[in-house]
Chains A and B, each alone.
Chain A
Amino acid sequence: MPHLPTPRGPLSAAVLALLRNVPGSVTCAGAAVHPDVSAIADPLSDDDLHLALYCCYELHYRGFDGVDERWEWDPALLTLRARLEAVFARGLDDALAGWRAPAADAATMDLALRAIADADEAPSLSRHLETRGTLEQYREFLVHRSAYQLKEADPHSWAIGRLWGPPKAALVEVQADEYGGGDPARVHAELFARTLTALGVDEAYGAYLDLLPGVTLATVNLMSFFGLHRRHRGRIVGHLALFEMTSSIPNRRYATGLRRLGVDHPDAVAFFDEHVTADAVHENIAAVDLAGGLVRQEPELAGDVLYGARALVELDGRWAAALLEAWEREGTALLRAPLAVGA
């Protein structure tokens, strides 16, 4: 079980102070759960805000060593989380304010999602790693991705119980594959852990939380935020669809780049190789059967599906840009450098 991270500012300090306390001991009206959020300059990448949110959400996944599990549903914690989520949500709305969603109905949802993917002009991290990335940059890339990949698929699984009929069957079809189709060794998060080990990176869940910047944690908080709220079921579905639609080609590049660097141990490349063919299957199911299927049942969710997809493009683009900019100046996008591999 991961350890609690070190606070980075007043927001993460507020969350971590709660978690060291006894559940039920803090009132919802108290100052402890109403910290000042006016100082947040960028709600899509603020280091303090996103560590705070990440810790709130982590209570729903694996929890933290020494933290009372009842905090997950403690009203004071949820009051604080809602305050942080409101800032994040407003930041997303502001970032997407100039975006016009493509017209779409159930039968054309795949086309509209593809239009969002095709309009993505963010710099390509996968092209860089394929052709020029160093082993050290690969390791940093894996450390960033570990925030999600060690719980790969889990944020989208929250939606299963909120769907019914064809889109539910489609989501389960994708998720069953993500979880190894009954074989624990083929669970995608497990394949990723073996990749970390093969490249000399600590595979322990949460090992690098203190190193991860807000721009990285925001990409995971986006999924948890959409996944944990039933009212955002359209958004988490759109997120998954676009995630799958933009996965197979980058993963092929990641594997090619590793082999270029002479890394061809099966454990090092299996995760990426698996995702090339797996996501070539998933993308069709997610776009047509899941996203299209949901909008066929609930046409009013079309806008939410596309919003979730566009929000993914927005945050992943910012994350990729942060890494590429750091590497351009031969630095790191992690909060602490150099990365102590395996430490």
Chain B
Amino acid sequence: MTTPVTRITPYRDGPLLIRGPFTITDQDGRDIETHQGTVALCRCGRSARKPFCDGTHKVVGFRAASAAQWES
């Protein structure tokens, strides 16, 4: 059996999805509760539920590739 890995995937024009074992804590070390096994973290900066995605990237026309970008 392979060791479970944590996988982070940037989706095109959308959030970062985290799969696998993870915990999210704020800068004071408090756990941020999640109900789901996979979560989406805001990448556009406009979510009203940060650090989670709430779909607002579609409203604001956020554009970003899935692959790594080194220069814009």
Contact = CB atoms under 8 A, between A and B. Distances in A.
A286 to B, nearest CB: 11
Interface in A182-223: 186
B17 A285 contact: yes
Contacts of B17: 281, 284-285
Interface string B13-48: 111010000000000000000011111100000001
Given A276-B49, A280-B15, A284-B15, A186 B35 contact: yes
Interface string A257-285: 00000000000000000101111110111
Contacts of A173: 37-38
Nearest to A252: B54
B38 A249 contact: no
Contacts of A277: 36, 39-40, 49, 52-54
A240 B5 CA distance: 28
Contacts, number: 65
B54 A281 contact: no
B35 A279 contact: no
B11 A278 contact: no
A252 B46 CA distance: 14
A247 to B, nearest CB: 8
Given A110-B12, A288-B11, A288-B12, A281 B39 contact: yes
A154 interface: no
A281 B40 contact: yes
B54 A177 contact: no
A176 interface: yes
29 contacts: A114-B13, A114-B58, A173-B37, A176-B37, A177-B36, A181-B37, A186-B35, A245-B58, A248-B54, A249-B58, A249-B59, A252-B54, A274-B35, A276-B49, A276-B55, A277-B36, A277-B40, A277-B49, A277-B52, A277-B53, A277-B54, A280-B52, A280-B55, A281-B39, A283-B14, A284-B11, A284-B14, A285-B38, A288-B11
Top 5 nearest A-B pairs by Cβ distance? A248-B55, A280-B53, A284-B11, A281-B40, A280-B55
Interface of A: 110-111, 114, 173, 176-177, 181, 186, 245, 247-249, 252, 274, 276-281, 283-285, 288
Given A274-B35, A276-B55, 15 more contacts: A114-B13, A176-B37, A245-B58, A247-B55, A248-B55, A277-B40, A279-B55, A280-B52, A280-B55, A281-B15, A281-B17, A281-B40, A284-B11, A284-B40, A288-B12
